[in-house]
Amino acid sequence: MPEFCLIRYGLIPEVARFPVLEGRSLSWGDRVVIRTPRGLELGMALEQVRATKETDLSESGFEIDRLATEADEKDATRLRAEAQVAFDEWLTRIAEWQLDLELIDLEWTLDRQKLILYVLTGRGPDSTKLALFAATQGVAVDVLPVTAEGLMVPQAASGGGGCGSGGCGCHDE
């Protein structure tokens, strides 16, 4: 049976199962570069587990690329600083676009291919509008709604069509 590693990633942490290549072992706290549907990101290994049933690894969209290097860590620090500088710019855009949501944080993927905007709001039209308006600025974004309970996880069969559910198109590659 395939082995997986639970890996935590993202500023507002998510945890997902990542397939572990045969012969590779990860320990708690190992920093890794991972591929998610958003792009390359840094993550931290939590626990290696065996699958309880056969799983099609090619469909997961999650992959461990490598152990993180010092250069990866430096890139992540540089990108975090860029995101902090861009925060006020995004606050201004959101106000100009008259969106009813509050930006609480943002981060770049390690490959700088996507900007992830964390917003305090429910899934709804303003989350979708933010993603669409950002796209008109030439920026590939994921808008991730956050509530007091934490990150709103997309539901596979929600049918709601709002941002985060996959229906808005802002989560498509």
Q: Where in the chain is the domain with CATH 3.30.300?
A: 73-151
Fold classification of 73-151 is: GMP Synthetase; Chain A, domain 3 (3.30.300)
Give the model's pLDDT for residue 109: 95
Give the model's pLDDT for residue 139: 82
- Asked which of 16-30, 119-133, 142-156 is least confident by mean pLDDT, the reply is 142-156
User: Using one digit for the tens of pLDDT, what is the confidence trace for 36-95?
Assistant: 998 999 999 999 887 666 555 555 678 999 999 999 999 999 999 999 999 999 999 999
Residues 117, 46: Cα–Cα separation, whole Å: 25
Q: Please indicate whether residue 150 or residue 70 has the higher confidence score (pLDDT).
A: 70
Q: Please indicate whether residue 64 or residue 150 has the higher confidence score (pLDDT).
A: 64
CA distances from 66 to 7, 73, 107 (A): 13, 13, 21
- Residue 115 clears pLDDT 90, i.e. is over it: yes
Give the model's pLDDT for residue 48: 84
- Residue 99 clears pLDDT 50, i.e. is over it: yes
* 70-96 and 125-136 helices, crossing angle to 10°: 110
Residues 141, 172: Cα–Cα separation, whole Å: 10
Average pLDDT, stretch 147-154? 60
- Sorting pLDDT into bands at 50, 70 and 90, what band is 165? very low
Give the model's pLDDT for residue 51: 67
Residue 143 has, within 13 A of its CA and on its CB side, a CA count of: 33
